[in-house]
């Protein structure tokens, strides 16, 4: 207890005070300094001093009351000061108590230690400004807890078609979700129609509140690199040549003006063809070798380089030979074990190729003959083609055979000559092993070619040469004017094939990579934030390692098998061994000449460039492709490609909450898919967790009591566990990062966890083969995660729903 010593004098008898004031005219000094209480005070006296306003003092009882006299100013002032001092003390005491109570209350709330402290600074980098703009139009799960997870996932028509009831095989989707998806699909159709009608390039992007899928994000990053200011001027560096190639592709004006002339000049260079009446009777195998080496065209069979999946001990890469992609669609008959094209398709194909020949200026009197021969030869070849599943069941994939043995079985093709020409200067000999994927077709194809070569009545028509030239036309149509591409599109539509409209910029980025892949890899490497990427990788992987032992395993063998696999892997960012320096790249492309106004010639060069570095084809490892966007295993290493760490999924200036919420959760999902493909058979946790999550979803959307209305397949249970666990592990990884490096920047004033979870909901429907097994939008998992009172700013409760759907922690 404390006392106010200076104020005690004011509580003495009024008569003494009056006399004192008369004797001492000076104004009394009011001493309000806090002093320890006197030990001689009784309890009533102590109460009266501490609470003079609430405990009234008894007035003295004189024999006769004096006449009332007006109080002087000196008498009033001490009482005013007394009130002020007492009121001030009362307010201070109240504030102190309120503070104590407030701290006690909040200490009982399990708020996350990572909630944004007042000192968190907003991120203002250009990347963060774009992220802030996306946040401003996104659906915040904490402000719209009832329906934030019902909005369509992404803008791609293919994605939309795989969402909803048909994806879950009878599992319901909220009606509002169907309405939103239908509206979005209609919007996409209108966008594609406008792009076709105007001929302009409408920048492809996800809805404003969604991020693009990972493949599109990487393509957009490469587009940004190729359209950067330092790429805009002509020059002789490899980088400038790549940028000039891209610009020549984007500028369709010269291509439209040139018409068919560039292709006709190319045909003349190859010796002409019988369709025009001018053909030099060129050698069959010489022309075939030339098409394979310089123009990436494989009319009768396809050739590529890859590993043998049956060779688990080594990384050797083999030349592989397969049936070609036929231009005429065929149907497989399981009864006859043969392929054939029906009459209706043949009529459509005939009309389409007559149109193409007319665009090339061929006389109408000869087009029917040559297209007819082309269809006849294609039909004979396609008879022996078979679908991949049939070949897999028959065990005829990856058949090893030497080139010498292949020459004996299929003598019409000069195999050694063609392969040596295609892969020069890489050495190829007769004793080399190649892998065949359809030996019956290869033998049949050789027999058909031999028959047509010996048809003397058709020697002047050159059907085999015409077949090869029309195959070349199919290869180069993307570099010709729009009439050719529209003819191909019309044929697809007539077949009932609804092809997605690919924006021009996307086509041009992909085509630039084909010829300048090493340049784009170098440029992507320059933009990769290695330190931040490695930190994200290590944190996410450590989180997974720490949480997997907590699963309920079916037996000890399963537990040790999984944990040992996880324990002995080393995660790392991909650093390709064949990254060239800028000087080496300039030397490599020194002989390449790019003309911004001649896209066709640039396109032809890019086809040739793909086969000018065969050593790369035979040394390339799995996942070494620039377009890799998921981690892969390489020995005892878990490798994460550079293409994963691009905007808007990741940026070094982002708050870590965004990087972990978006890419961190995607990485965790990738790791679980890659390392635990059979977790459902090893642990009972996926089933129990999935059923818990599913019950909460049904309770939220269908109402209480509907939790067991629909059952999940094992594949759906496993995927739901993967998605839910990935979000958990990423959030734990983020919290561990905050403990190691306290503090994080913020966006829009959101707390760290709020920003993490809101960023997670912005992820587009990721185009992976497992997504079809998710019966609802993964963003709903935020509601489930927030069942933990210590993980979210608030619990996501829906005012117009009964709260029984919060069934507890899954």
Angle 38-39-42 (CA atoms, 0-180°, nearest 5)? 95
Q: What is the pLDDT of residue 312?
A: 72
Domain boundary among 449, 470, 491: 470
Residues in the chain: 810
Token pair 């020549």 is found at 248
Predicted pLDDT at 26: 39
In whole angstroms, give the CA distance from residue 348 to residue 487. 11
Q: What is the mean pLDDT of the chain?
A: 78
- C-alpha–C-alpha distance, residues 743 and 123, integer Å: 13
Q: Reduce the DSSP state of residue 611 to 3 states and report it.
A: coil
Select the more confidently predicted residue: 294 or 771: 294
pLDDT of residue 334: 87
Domain that holds residue 304: 298-470
Boundary-marking domain end, from 406, 437, 470: 470
- 623 vs 244, which has greater pLDDT? 244
37 in a structural domain: no
Q: Is residue 322 domain-resident? A: yes
Residue 482 lies in a domain: no
Which residue did the predictor score with more confidence, 310 or 125? 125
State residue 186's pLDDT score: 44
Per-residue model confidence as pLDDT tens digits over 335-393: 898 998 889 999 999 999 999 999 999 988 888 889 999 999 999 999 999 999 999 99
Which tokens belong to 526? 């320059």
pLDDT of the residue at 59: 37
**Which tokens belong to 800?**
């117009």
Q: pLDDT tens-digit profile of 747-787? A: 998 989 999 999 998 886 555 667 788 888 888 899 888 87
Which among 374, 447, 462, 380 has a CA at the least distance from the CA of 413? Answer: 447
Q: How many domains does the chain have?
A: 2
Please check whether residue 155 is in contact with residue 191, taking contact to mean a CB–CB distance below 8 angstroms. Answer: no
The more confidently predicted of residues 237 and 233 is: 237
Model pLDDT, residue 242? 95
pLDDT-based confidence at 103, cuts 50/70/90?
Answer: very low
What are 694-726's pLDDT values in tens digits?
988 888 787 655 545 568 899 999 999 999 999
Query: pLDDT tens for residues 377-433?
Result: 999 999 999 999 999 999 999 999 999 999 999 999 999 999 999 998 889 999 999
Q: Please say if the pLDDT value at position 305 is more than 60.
A: yes
Lowest mean pLDDT among 219-223, 400-404, 605-609: 605-609
What percent of the chain has a predicted confidence (pLDDT) above 70? 72
Query: Is 725 a member of any domain?
Result: yes
Confidence band of 202 (pLDDT split at 50, 70, 90):
very low
User: What was the pLDDT predicted at 794?
Assistant: 74
Structure tokens at 454: 């010996």
Tens digits of per-residue pLDDT, 22-72?
333 333 333 333 333 333 333 334 233 333 333 334 433 333 333 434 444
Query: Which secondary structure element, helix H or strand E, spans residue 633, and what is its range?
Result: strand 632-634
Q: Contact, 605 vs 515, CB < 8 A?
A: yes
Of 136-150, 720-734, 738-752, the one with minimum mean pLDDT is: 136-150
What kind and span of H or E run contains 307? strand 302-307
pLDDT confidence bin for 454, thresholds 50/70/90: confident
What is d(CA 647, CA 658) in angstroms, rounded to the nearest whole number? 11
What is the pLDDT, as a whole number, of residue 367?
87
Say if residues 140 and 151 touch (Cβ distance below 8 Å).
no
pLDDT exceeds 70 at position 296: yes
What pLDDT does 698 receive? 85
- Which residues does 216 contact at the CB level (< 8 Å), separation at least 6? 204, 206
Tell me the mean pLDDT in the region 724-752: 92
When pLDDT is cut at 50, 70 and 90, the band that residue 282 belongs to is: confident
Decide: pTM greater than 0.85: no
User: What gap in Å lies between CA 277 and CA 187, rounded to an integer?
Assistant: 49
pLDDT at position 366 is 82
Each residue of 270-307: b (16+ CB within 10 Å) or e? Answer: bbbbbbbeebeebebbebbbbbbbbbbbbbbbebebeb
pLDDT > 90? residue 255: yes
Is residue 272 one of the residues assigned to a domain?
no
User: Which tokens belong to 430?
Assistant: 């007769």
We report the CATH number of the domain holding residue 317 as: 1.10.1380.10
Q: What value does the mean pLDDT take over residues 227-240? A: 86
Predicted confidence at residue 108, as pLDDT, reads: 38
In this prediction, residue 14 carries a pLDDT of 38
Determine the Cα–Cα distance for residues 314 and 433; give it in Å rounded to an integer.
15
Measured between alpha carbons, how far is 715 from 82 in angstroms, rounded to an integer? 79
Residue 379: inside a domain = yes
DSSP character at residue 283: -
Ranges 40-54, 258-272, 547-561: which has the least confidence: 40-54
Residue 378: inside a domain: yes
Written as six digits, the tokens of 693 are 């999550």
Q: Let me know if residue 457 belongs to a domain.
A: yes
Domain C-terminal end among 420, 452, 470: 470
């Amino acid at each position: 207890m404390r006392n106010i010593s200076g104020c005690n004098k004011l509580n003495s008898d009024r008569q003494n005070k009056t006399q004192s004031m008369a004797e001492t005219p000076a104004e009394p000094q009011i001493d309000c300094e806090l002093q320890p209480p006197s030990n001689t005070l009784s309890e009533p006296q102590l109460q009266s001093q501490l609470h003079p306003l609430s405990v009234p003092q008894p007035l003295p009882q004189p024999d006769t009351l004096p006449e009332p006299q007006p109080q002087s100013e000196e008498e009033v002032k001490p009482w005013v000061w007394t009130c002020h001092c007492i009121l001030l003390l009362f307010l201070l005491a109240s504030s102190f108590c309120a503070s104590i109570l407030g701290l006690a209350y909040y200490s009982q709330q399990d708020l996350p230690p990572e909630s944004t402290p007042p000192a968190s600074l907003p991120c203002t980098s250009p990347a963060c400004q774009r992220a802030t703009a996306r946040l401003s139009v996104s659906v915040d799960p904490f402000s719209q807890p009832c329906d934030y997870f019902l909005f369509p996932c992404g803008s791609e028509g293919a994605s939309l078609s795989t969402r909803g009831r048909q994806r879950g095989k009878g599992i319901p989707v909220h009606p509002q979700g169907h309405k939103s998806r239908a509206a979005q699909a209609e919007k996409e159709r209108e966008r594609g129609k406008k792009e076709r009608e105007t001929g302009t390039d409408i920048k492809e992007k996800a809805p404003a509140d969604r991020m693009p899928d990972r493949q599109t994000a990487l393509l957009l990053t490469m587009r940004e690199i190729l359209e950067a200011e330092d790429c805009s001027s002509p020059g002789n560096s490899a980088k400038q040549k790549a940028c000039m190639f891209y610009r020549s592709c984007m500028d369709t004006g010269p291509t439209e003006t040139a018409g068919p002339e560039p292709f006709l000049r190319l045909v003349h260079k190859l010796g002409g063809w019988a369709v025009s009446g001018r053909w030099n009777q060129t050698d069959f195998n010489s022309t075939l070798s030339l098409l394979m080496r310089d123009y990436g065209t494989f009319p009768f069979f396809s050739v590529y380089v890859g590993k043998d999946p049956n060779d688990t001990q080594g990384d050797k890469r083999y030349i592989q030979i397969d049936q070609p992609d036929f231009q005429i669609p065929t149907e497989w008959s399981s009864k006859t074990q043969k392929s054939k094209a029906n009459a209706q398709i043949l009529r459509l194909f005939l009309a389409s190729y007559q149109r193409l020949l007319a665009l090339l200026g061929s006389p109408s009197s000869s087009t029917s003959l040559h297209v007819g021969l082309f269809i006849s030869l294609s039909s004979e070849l396609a008879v022996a083609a078979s679908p991949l599943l049939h070949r897999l069941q028959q065990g005829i994939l990856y058949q090893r055979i030497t080139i010498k043995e292949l020459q004996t079985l299929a003598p019409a093709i000069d195999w050694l000559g063609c392969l040596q020409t295609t892969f020069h200067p890489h050495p190829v000999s007769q004793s080399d092993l190649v892998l065949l994927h359809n030996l019956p077709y290869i033998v049949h194809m050789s027999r058909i070619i031999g028959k047509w070569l010996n048809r003397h009545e058709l020697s002047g028509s050159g059907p085999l040469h015409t077949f090869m030239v029309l195959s070349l036309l199919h290869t180069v149509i993307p570099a010709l004017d729009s009439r050719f591409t529209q003819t191909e599109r019309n044929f697809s539509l007539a077949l009932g094939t609804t092809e997605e409209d690919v924006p021009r910029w996307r086509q041009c980025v992909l085509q630039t990579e084909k010829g300048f892949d090493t340049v784009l890899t170098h440029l992507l490497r320059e933009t990769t934030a290695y330190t931040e990427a490695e930190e994200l990788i290590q944190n996410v992987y450590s989180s997974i390692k720490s949480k997997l032992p907590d699963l309920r395993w079916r037996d000890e063998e399963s537990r040790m098998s999984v944990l040992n696999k996880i324990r002995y892997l080393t995660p790392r960012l991909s650093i390709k061994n064949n990254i060239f320096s800028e000087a080496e790249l300039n030397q490599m492309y020194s002989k390449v000449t790019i003309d911004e106004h001649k896209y066709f010639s640039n396109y032809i060069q890019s086809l040739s460039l793909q086969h000018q570095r065969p050593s790369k084809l035979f040394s390339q490892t799995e996942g070494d492709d620039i377009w890799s966007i998921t981690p892969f295993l390489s020995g005892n290493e878990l490798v994460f490609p550079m293409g994963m760490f691009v905007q808007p999924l990741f940026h070094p200036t982002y708050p870590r909450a965004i990087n972990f919420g978006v890419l961190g959760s995607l990485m965790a999902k990738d790791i679980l898919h890659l390392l635990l493909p059979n977790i459902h058979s090893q642990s009972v946790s996926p089933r129990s967790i999935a059923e818990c999550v599913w019950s909460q979803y049904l309770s939220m959307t269908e109402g209480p009591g509907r939790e067991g209305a629909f059952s999940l397949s094992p594949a759906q249970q496993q995927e739901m566990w993967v998605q839910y666990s990935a979000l958990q592990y990423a959030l734990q990884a983020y919290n561990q990062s905050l403990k190691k490096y306290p503090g994080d920047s913020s966006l829009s004033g959101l707390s760290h966890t709020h920003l993490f979870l809101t960023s997670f909901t912005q992820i587009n429907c990721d185009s992976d083969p497992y997504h079809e097994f998710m019966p609802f939008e993964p963003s709903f998992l935020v509601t489930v995660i927030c069942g933990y009172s210590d993980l979210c700013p608030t619990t996501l409760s829906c005012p117009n729903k009964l709260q029984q759907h919060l069934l507890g922690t899954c």
